[in-house]
């Protein structure tokens, strides 16, 4: 079974703090993703990475950065946390797609609930 | 710009009846679609997927239909069970920058009444 592990389930941080959310997957997947889930807005892609040290901006990258130094680990960084970043953060991974009209399942971690006060 | 839309935020269905969840998309570059189920405080789990070269895929109680001309897909659950009560997300994938990107909808909360 694929395992995507997010190191922190619940965090409370102060405005302006630097926040690290860590994610590790154990299936040798090339792709890794960070989404945030908010009521009424669904899952929105923040950043994704298709290889070590490679990253691509998603739909809402502002205020976030990422790091992928090893294949199995993908970190989300909030450089200066703000209250509008209070959310559930979901890490996911998948094998790389190799051709059109096919795809791979994305496997999600359990999520990290971040509250910024 | 919401490229993947689930216009019904919630749906209630009697146990044993059919649940139909809908999803619309705007980008014709999407070529692979997935449905996920999510319980509160857990990560989404994969249910079923479909390639854009097909119009139907079935797995047990779950069937996904794709209408490319309408840019519409639907998930049918038959028969619905109380354990199906959850939030359902559709997702669409398209090529970008040499790789592929997955975009999710806003979700539909399904409640199956016993």
- Going by C-alpha positions, the residue among B89, B106, B43 that lies closest to residue A92 is B43
- Copy the structure tokens of residue A41: 């807005």
> Which of B31, B89, B103 has the CB atom closest to A101's CB atom?
B31
CA–CA dist B62, B30 (Å, integer): 22
8 Å CB contact of B34 and A105: yes
pLDDT-derived band at B1 (thresholds 50, 70, 90) equals low
- Predicted confidence at residue B26, as pLDDT, reads 94
8 Å CB contact of A56 and B96: yes
Chain A residues close to B32, C-beta within 8 Å: 97, 101-103
Per-residue pLDDT for A99 more than 80? no
Per-residue pLDDT for B55 more than 80? yes
Mean pLDDT, chain B, whole residue set: 93
Per-residue pLDDT for B108 more than 90? yes
Residue B110 distance to chain A (closest CA, Å): 14
Tokens 């070529």, residue located: B31
Residue A85 in contact with residue A77, Cβ under 8 Å? no
Pairing of strands A10-13, B108-113: unpaired
- Predicted confidence at residue A88, as pLDDT, reads 95
- Predicted confidence at residue A114, as pLDDT, reads 97
CA–CA dist B63, A87 (Å, integer): 32
What tens digit of pLDDT does each residue of A62-84 get?
Answer: 999 999 999 999 999 999 999 99
Per-residue pLDDT for B84 more than 80? yes
Per-residue pLDDT for A53 more than 70? yes
Per-residue pLDDT for B113 more than 90? yes
What is the pLDDT averaged over residues B60-65? Answer: 98
- Copy the structure tokens of residue A31: 């792709």
Give the least confident one: A22-31, A90-99, B103-112: A90-99
Quick one: three-class SS letters along A38-77?
Answer: ECCCEEEEEEEECCCCCCEECCCCCCEEEEEEECCEEEEE
8 Å CB contact of B95 and A100: yes
CA–CA dist B107, B109 (Å, integer): 7
What is the pLDDT averaged over residues B37-42? Answer: 91
8 Å CB contact of B46 and A106: yes
> Which of A103, A108, A112 should we substitute to test contact with B (largest number of B Cβ atoms within 10 Å)?
A103
B20 touches chain A (CB under 8 A): no
CA–CA dist A117, A23 (Å, integer): 23
Chain B residues close to A109, C-beta within 8 Å: 43
Per-residue pLDDT for A97 more than 90? no
B83: left (phi over 0), alpha (psi -120 to 50) or beta: alpha
Strand order in the sheet with B72-77: B4-5, B19-25, B72-77, B62-67, B56-59
């Amino acid at each position: 079974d694929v395992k995507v592990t997010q190191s922190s389930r619940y965090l409370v941080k102060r405005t302006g703090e630097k926040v690290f959310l860590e994610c590790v997957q154990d299936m040798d997947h090339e792709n890794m993703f960070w989404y945030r889930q908010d009521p009424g807005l669904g899952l929105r892609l923040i950043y994704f990475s298709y290889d070590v040290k490679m990253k691509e901006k998603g739909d809402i990258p502002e205020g976030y950065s990422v790091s992928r130094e090893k294949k199995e680990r993908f970190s989300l960084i909030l450089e200066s946390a703000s209250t509008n970043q209070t959310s559930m953060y979901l890490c996911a991974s998948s094998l790389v797609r190799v051709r059109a009209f096919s795809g791979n399942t994305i496997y999600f971690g359990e999520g990290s609930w971040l509250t910024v006060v | 710009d919401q490229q993947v839309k689930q216009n019904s935020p919630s749906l209630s269905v009697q146990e044993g009846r059919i649940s139909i969840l809908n999803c619309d998309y705007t980008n014709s570059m999407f070529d692979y679609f997935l449905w996920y189920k999510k319980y509160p405080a857990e990560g989404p789990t994969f249910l079923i997927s479909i390639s854009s070269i097909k119009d139907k895929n079935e797995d047990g109680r779950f069937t996904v239909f794709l209408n490319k001309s309408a840019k519409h897909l639907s998930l049918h659950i038959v028969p619905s069970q109380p354990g199906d009560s959850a939030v359902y997300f559709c997702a669409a994938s398209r090529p970008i920058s040499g790789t592929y990107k997955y975009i999710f909808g806003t979700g539909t909360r399904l409640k199956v009444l016993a």
